[in-house]
Amino acid sequence: EERLAVNWDSRLSNSYFYIPFGSKISRHENFSVKFEIQLNQLELGTDPAKPFTFPLAVGLVNLASVTRPSFYRGSGIHEEFGPRGLVEWSYHADSGFGATISSGLISLDNQWSLSNTFPLEMQMGATYQVEMTMNAEAETLTTTMFENGEPFGPIKDASLSEVFGGPEGGFTEIDVDAFAIASYSDGGQTSPEFAGSILASGWLDNIAVQRDSPISIDSLLSPDNGIGVQVQGKSGWEYWLEMTTDFLRWETRGHAKSDGDQLIIIQDQGMVHSKGFYRVVGNRS
């Protein structure tokens, strides 16, 4: 069987296997992330100076955030080094505090809304099905897991009404734009007396990301009036019309902002091409 083999090695710098979406998913949208995972080997304390647990992680990321040089997952709530822009499932093997499954969101302002379920230990060689589902109206991320087809957990929900760190005034935004398997560096941990490190291997399979898209394309406008699309806009959203001729490079060709739930027209403002393919990208303003 073809599966994605994965190594998590915290001795190395941050590294990711990622699949970009081409647009951003907001905390105001409903979405879900599914995958299967199996761990075959896991060792803590690979750095003797960091003998405690450290997370191996899978989820959605804001690429610009997680690839910045000052990103350290282990720094926690930290103005400069703290992680930002994550929807994350992570496993923390037992190093004396109980094996823990964590899931939740971290905003672009380093606000944490994560739940920790413990003690809950993953077995080497067992296959786990994981699904994280965001209900935007309820402001809740629900996580379910199965072990070899049998219920595992239950996993605690993460609620955006329970936020730690960052600015006051409520959870802000995530703007995640890629699925990622994250092997985080164990550098930058703010509590050195509890610093951890990890070396683990396994595989992932059957990865799926689903979103309730706020974009509903009503019609393609007649070429006689110039190419464009008519979109069912949502209040407070902006939309960009993009075109490609090779599916490798996308060019922004038009933009519109919706002030209400109404039909809007996005006109192609670029040069005329003999052929091309269009898409509409939307984000909350």
Domain spanning 4-211 has what CATH number? 2.60.120
* pLDDT in the model for residue 224: 67
Average pLDDT of the chain, as a whole number: 93
Alpha helices, DSSP H, located in 32-122: 63-66
Please compute the mean of the pLDDT values over residues 153-166 and round it to a whole number: 97
Tell me the HSE value of 24 on the side-chain side, using a 13 A CA sphere: 21
Alpha-carbon distance of 146 to 158, in angstroms, equals 18
Decide if 58 contacts 204 (C-beta within 8 A). yes
Alpha-carbon distance of 54 to 52, in angstroms, equals 7
Decide if 103 contacts 88 (C-beta within 8 A). yes
Task: Report pLDDT digits (tens) over 34-88.
Answer: 999 999 999 999 999 999 999 999 999 999 999 999 999 999 999 999 999 999 9
Where exactly are the structural domains of the chain? 4-211, 216-284
Supply 221's token pair: 């406008």
C-alpha distances in angstroms, 11 versus 67, 76, 201?
Answer: 17, 18, 14
| Residue 243: CB atoms within 10 Å | 18
Cα–chain center distance at 128 = 19
The pTM of this model reads: 0.80
Please compute the mean of the pLDDT values over residues 210-219 and round it to a whole number: 75
φ/ψ of 73, rounded to 5, equals -60, -35
CB burial class (10 A; 0-12, 13-18, 19+) of residue 20? exposed
Please compute the mean of the pLDDT values over residues 204-211 and round it to a whole number: 94
